[in-house]
Amino acid sequence: MAGTVSSSRGCVTLRGAQIRDLLDAKHNVLFDCDGVIWNGETAVTGAPEVVSLLKQRGKRVFFVTNNCTRPRENYVQKFCRLGFTDVAEEEIFSSAYCSAAYLRDVARLQGKVYVIGCGGVMKELQDAGVPVVEEDSAADREPGTSIYNCPLDPDVKAVLVGYDENFTFMKLAKACCYLRNSECLFLATDPDPWHPLRGGRITPGSGSLTAALETASSRKATVIGKPSRFMYECIASQFDLDPARSLMIGDRLETDILFGSNCGLSTVLTLTGVSTLEEAHRYRDSEAPEQKDCVPDYVVESVADFLQALEE
Amino acid sequence: MAASKCTRLSSALSRQLLDSVDSVLFDCDGVIWRGDQAVPGAPEVINSLKKNGKRVFFVTNNSTKTRKMYADKLAKLGFNATADEVFGTAYCSAMYLKNVCKLDGKVYLIGSNAMRQELEEVGIQPVGVGPDPISGVQIDWANVPLDKEVQAVLVGFDEHFSYMKLNRALQYLCNLDCQFVGTNTDTRLPLEGGKAVPGTGCLLRAVETAAQRQAQVVGKPSNFMFECVASQFDLDPQRCLMVGDRLDTDIMLGSNCGLKTLLTLTGVSTVAEAEANQKSECPHRQKMVPDYYVDSIADILPALQA
């Protein structure tokens, strides 16, 4: 409509003094990983220095990733490998770690969890002391055992679905059987429909497996990963965080930026990953109120843009 | 035809209804059979309809059998029927790919051997059927070799569904010129003995989510299933009756195609659900209200044998 003042704020390109002012106002910086500080096995140029300098300036740094394929100790090794010299395990919050924390501390699970997930998820559950149903492939190969007739463990009180390269119809059928009991919890590590790999390639994500199970069970999963608030609450339960003094830096509008909005954080979109400036503008210019939450406050080309302000 | 809807079909109304139609289309699971047992009286109903000069067709979303396999099952259970009267989604998907998509190439198939056979019958070569276990690492999966002749991905019921199959489908669908078709969206597949397993709808949702694309769906309530029958047998929708047990597939199809509709209560949906739809203001739900209902299709037998 002519004459209407556009409510499209956000997407401010951060430069020079603005970066310094922003960092002065924030005590905690939360980074997504894939597409922000690294791409595959390659660090984003300048990212290790940015993280180091932030810490030297007295900022607290956290890493918040939906990628559930590694346990935290593996992430520490990756950080080292890629030149991030002083990242501690306690600063890393993956959806696998947070799913285990949820089951242990929030749900206070009294029983076992049936897991559709990869090694990273299994290890975090093991580390948290959450009992997992053993995937007994030998029993599954007994004659008479099929998708139509498989044994169930009576101690299962929760189903957790995440990225699983060994996903099969059998697992889907079993999980669906467990979920028929409305008391059985239904959790998903993250909603990502696909994961980006190097070279612009993609591979199916946890979100696609969760969609199959939600359709089969006619139930909605409680999603742990971004954009749900839980990962932030997990950090806040261990560290004292003031959302007004916290900054979220991510590359995916529908997960990282929406997560930041949901938690009351200021948000920065970096263009070294999934989302583009055009997509951010489309959200900004959209009429739908819920789309506004995907609009980043600020945009940078890369986290390296923070270097100049930090080095001064 | 009664102006009101969702009426119990009495004997008198049965005769009136049957006189007003030439063709009767039956869903299968929950209507004429449950698992591998005929609904009592169902074979007599179908056979009587034919003796009364009505044409009978079978329209099912189940993609696990070919028309020939269905004909064998029908015969075994005492139904007087032939393969060309059966329209299952294995057959209809092949027809859809050939005649609507005008496919000139191969199809990556997540589905059964029955689907493979129906595709080969119309000259379309499928790739990918059978077990497909994972090997290698993530970057290998994103780089799986793709068959350049594949021009469509078709998803149906597949007990060998795996991450690898989901991945291959995704890689093909990254090319927006590759067509994307699903047999049906039913969330559960009914089995013998009253059991059920997750249905094709679950597998299709997984692929749609990963690819961030919507499939063209062949099965009920899509009109294509009726159009497939109608084009081969020259049907007048106003002289057709659709008999089914599901409001969201069978009755919806009937409403969308202008057929008369009869809900039978030997399957999924209930009268309470139909009446709730009738009372709702929502136009979408209004399409899921049958003209009539019966406890079982055997209830129309007296009218047929009179």
Instruction: Check which CATH number belongs to the domain holding A281 and give it.
Output: 3.40.50.1000
Sign of CA dihedral B248, B251, B255, B256: positive
For position A306, what pLDDT does the model report? 95
Q: Which residue, of B159, B192, B217, is where some domain finishes? A: B217
Q: Are residues B173 and B201 in the same domain?
A: yes
Tell me if chain B has a CB within 8 Å of the CB of A263.
no
The answer to whether B287 and B254 have CB atoms below 8 angstroms apart is: no
Looking at chain A, the whole-number percentage of residues with pLDDT higher than 70 is 92
Q: Are residues A209 and A192 in the same domain?
A: yes
Instruction: Tell me how far apart the alpha carbons of residues B115 and B64 are, in angstroms, rounded to a whole number.
Output: 7
Among A200, A118, A209, A161, smallest CA distance to B207 is for A209
Residue B83 resides in a domain: no
Q: Which residues of A touch B142 (CB under 8 A)?
A: 197, 199, 201-203
Tell me if chain B has a CB within 8 Å of the CB of A204.
yes
Cβ-Cβ contacts under 8 Å between A and B: the total is: 96
The residue among B36, B138, B168, B248 with the most chain A CBs within 10 A of its CB, best to mutate, is B138
For position A145, what pLDDT does the model report? 57
For position B196, what pLDDT does the model report? 82
Q: Which residues of A touch B187 (CB under 8 A)?
A: 215-216, 218
Q: Are residues B167 and B228 in the same domain?
A: no
Across A222-260, b (16+ Cβ under 10 Å) vs e yields bbbbbbbebbbebbbeeeebeeeebbbbbbbbbbbbbbb
Looking at chain B, the whole-number percentage of residues with pLDDT higher than 70 is 98
Among B135, B160, B190, smallest CA distance to A170 is for B160
Q: Are residues B213 and B235 in the same domain?
A: no
CATH number at residue B280: 3.40.50.1000
Q: Which residue, of A223, A255, A283, is where some domain finishes? A: A223
Distances (CA, A) of A15 to A35, A68, A253, A276: 20, 34, 21, 18
- Report CB contact under 8 Å: B198, A209: no
Residue A67: partners with Cβ closer than 8 Å, 6 or more residues away: A33, A34, A94, A95, A190, A195
User: What mean pLDDT comes out for the span B81-92?
Assistant: 98
Q: Are residues B136 and B251 in the same domain?
A: no
Q: Are residues B242 and B148 in the same domain?
A: no
The residue among A41, A166, A208, A223 with the most chain B CBs within 10 A of its CB, best to mutate, is A208
Distances (CA, A) of B61 to B36, B186, B211, B284: 16, 8, 23, 21
Task: Give 3-state DSSP helix, strand, coil % of chain B, rounded to 5.
Answer: 40, 20, 40
Across B260-275, b (16+ Cβ under 10 Å) vs e yields bbbbbbbbbbeeebbe
Q: How confident is the model at residue A281 (pLDDT cuts 50, 70, 90)?
A: very high
Domain that holds residue B168: 93-217
- Token pair for A221: 């999963």
Q: What is the pLDDT of residues A80-138, one digit of tens each?
A: 999 999 899 999 999 999 999 999 999 999 999 999 999 999 999 999 999 999 766 55
Residues in B lying within 8 Å of A, measured between beta carbons? 134, 138-139, 141-143, 158-164, 166-167, 170, 174, 187-188, 191, 195, 197-199, 201-203, 205-212
Q: Which residue, of B158, B182, B217, is where some domain finishes? A: B217
- pLDDT reading at A2 higher than 80: no
Domain that holds residue A262: 12-66+227-311
Out of A84-98, A116-130, A191-205, B120-134, least confident range: A191-205
Q: Which residues of B sit in the known binding site for substrate? A: 220
Distances (CA, A) of A191 to A161, B209, B224: 10, 10, 33
Residue B75 resides in a domain: no
Instruction: Tell me how far apart the alpha carbons of residues B270 and B265 are, in angstroms, rounded to a whole number.
Output: 6
First-to-final CA distance of chain A: 45
Q: Which residues of B sit in the known binding site? A: 27, 29, 220, 245
The answer to whether B206 and A204 have CB atoms below 8 angstroms apart is: yes
- pLDDT reading at A144 higher than 70: no
Torsion-angle region of B136 (φ positive above 0: left; ψ -120 to 50: alpha; else: beta): left
The answer to whether B296 and B265 have CB atoms below 8 angstroms apart is: yes
**Torsion of Cα atoms, A139 then A140 then A141 then A144, to 10°:** 100
Residue B26: partners with Cβ closer than 8 Å, 6 or more residues away: B32, B46, B56, B57, B58, B59, B243, B244, B297
Residue A87 resides in a domain: no
Q: Tell me how many domains chain A contains.
A: 2
Q: The pTM is what?
A: 0.93
Tell me if chain B has a CB within 8 Å of the CB of A197.
yes
Tell me if chain B has a CB within 8 Å of the CB of A207.
yes
For position A148, what pLDDT does the model report? 64
For position B3, what pLDDT does the model report? 47
First-to-final CA distance of chain B: 21
Out of A16-25, A239-248, B248-257, least confident range: A16-25
Averaged confidence pLDDT in chain A: 92
- Report CB contact under 8 Å: A203, B202: no
Q: How confident is the model at residue A197 (pLDDT cuts 50, 70, 90)?
A: confident
ipTM: 0.93
Q: Are residues B264 and B282 in the same domain?
A: yes
Q: Which residues of A touch B209 (CB under 8 A)?
A: 193, 207-208, 211
For position A138, what pLDDT does the model report? 52
Distances (CA, A) of B299 to A8, A95, B57, B80, B292: 63, 56, 19, 19, 12
Instruction: Tell me how far apart the alpha carbons of residues A99 and B35 are, in angstroms, rounded to a whole number.
Output: 40
- Report CB contact under 8 Å: B206, A205: no
User: What mean pLDDT comes out for the span A268-290?
Assistant: 94
Distances (CA, A) of B207 to A195, A220, B174: 14, 18, 11
Residue A132 resides in a domain: yes
Q: Are residues A239 and A177 in the same domain?
A: no
How distant is the Cα of A296 from the closest Cα of chain B, in angstroms? 23
For position A312, what pLDDT does the model report? 77
User: What mean pLDDT comes out for the span B51-59?
Assistant: 97
Range list of β-strands (E), A183-309? 185-188, 194-196, 202-204, 222-223, 246-250, 266-270, 298-300
Q: Are residues A116 and A187 in the same domain?
A: yes
Averaged confidence pLDDT in chain B: 95
Cβ neighbours, 10 Å, residue A95: 33
Q: Are residues A180 and A263 in the same domain?
A: no
Among B269, B264, B225, B267, smallest CA distance to B247 is for B269
Instruction: Tell me how far apart the alpha carbons of residues B153 and A195 are, in angstroms, rounded to a whole number.
Output: 21
For position B190, what pLDDT does the model report? 79
Instruction: Consult the annotation and say whether A226 binds a ligand.
Output: yes
- pLDDT reading at A6 higher than 70: no
Token look-up 């399409």 returns B287
